[in-house]
Amino acid sequence: MEGLRGLLVDLAVIAIFIGGIAQFRTPAGARKGNLTAALAFAIALALLFYRNTIGHMWIVVTAFIVGGGLGYIVSARIGMTRIPALVAFQNGAGGGAACLVSFVELTRGGTDFLAAREVFGYVGLVVGGATLAGSIVAGGKLAGWLRQRPVTLPGHNVALFAFLAAVTTLAILSGGVRDGVGAALTAGIAVAALFLGALFAVRIGGADMPVLISFLNTCSGLAAAFVGVAVGNQMLIAAGAMVGSSGLILTLVMARAMNRRAGSILAGSRLLDASASELDTEVEAPFLADAAVSEASRPSSSPVASADPPVLRARRALARAASVVIVPGYGMAVAQAQRDVAALAAELEKAGKLVRFAVHPVAGRMPGHMHVLLAEAEVDYDKLFEMEAINDDFASTDVALVVGACDVVNPAAMNVENTPISGMPILRVYEAATVIVCNLDDKPGYSGVPNPLYDDPRTIMLLGDAKDTVRELSAGQD
């Protein structure tokens, strides 16, 4: 009866956790979902203390206070531009925790450790260690501490297979060994797993970060689930499995948004960077000639050649426009301009214009990055449209306002082969009557591919800090 009661309690906690995840479908619901999931984890932690005898409680309490305090301080101080790197490091922390717990379970001694649990312990050790190292590399790239482009070493695949073989061999040799030799072999597995994760992540470039982050999220969940089997904790198994499955779905969604196979991205398939000369010959002519609508049929807000400053021409275009689509990108996060963009959108709506936001699935440096920013600026979620829902509307849009985005609106993705963004579906802003670009500069984006949109005569470039340029546009709507 006691066992049945405990099982029902575990299922209730798991149900609360699932209920929290179910609320993540909208930004507003995600806030409640985070609190609901946190409640489930708090209950699970309380049950852990209730059901087990904890030795040296002062160490556990001290670690809890120090870890919780550091987590709060870092999270409170981190800016939105660093959130992707923070997410990567948090994935790594989950993997590192799984690695440590597995190591302790595998080396603590005793003869009651079942063979099946031992196998899952080794798998948790390897997946957790690889996730930790891979997440550190990903976080370093996102934070700008490491080179953004893929790094492929001589014999890279051979080295990966060598470390994988070393991990397998050491696991077989250390199986069932509980003395110092077994601990040393287990430590060797952890070290090999770290190298395996670092080698895996370093060859994935910055343009593919959303896919890598999603995959690392999958790995951290799976590592937790494997550890849950090793220690016999049902709630940890369920929570890890849900995180792993949701991360896998997100990985596939991100890869599909880039029109690439997840396997090829994670395998480090390299694509070459297109030179400026290639873009001149392969993109400019078809891009300008086949812009979907002729100049004669364009809305009246099309820009007229003028010697006026770009900001004045942009203000006039917005004043004449009946419909405006705003395209946010990572540059908006860097400039922390989301609230200014929201204020401009509100002013345009007050003037009777139709204003919508077009969000590309891989805009930013992590899945949902733009949704988080715009939710923070209290933009109504109903005004956010995914690429498939709004792409066909650009041809009838008066003004497309690009704020800090480059790769997701780069026509080179459709016309130039063998680049990091080749074949990736883009937001077709070039079909709008007028395109206003509020970017820091006219240099290539994260992928390193030059953007021919900047040279289109219908594009008005407002270079500089996006917060300043958006405010200049907003001032013109008074």
Indicate which residues carry an active-site annotation: 407
Token readout for 475 is: 């001032």
Structure tokens at 397: 């849009």
Q: Which residues contact 308 (CB under 8 A, 6 or more apart)?
A: none
Both tokens assigned to 163: 């470390």
* Nearest CA among 417, 396, 231 for reference residue 299: 396
Angle between helices 310-320 and 466-475 (to 10 degrees): 60
Structure-token pair, residue 408: 């997701």
Token pair, residue 283, equals 């993109």
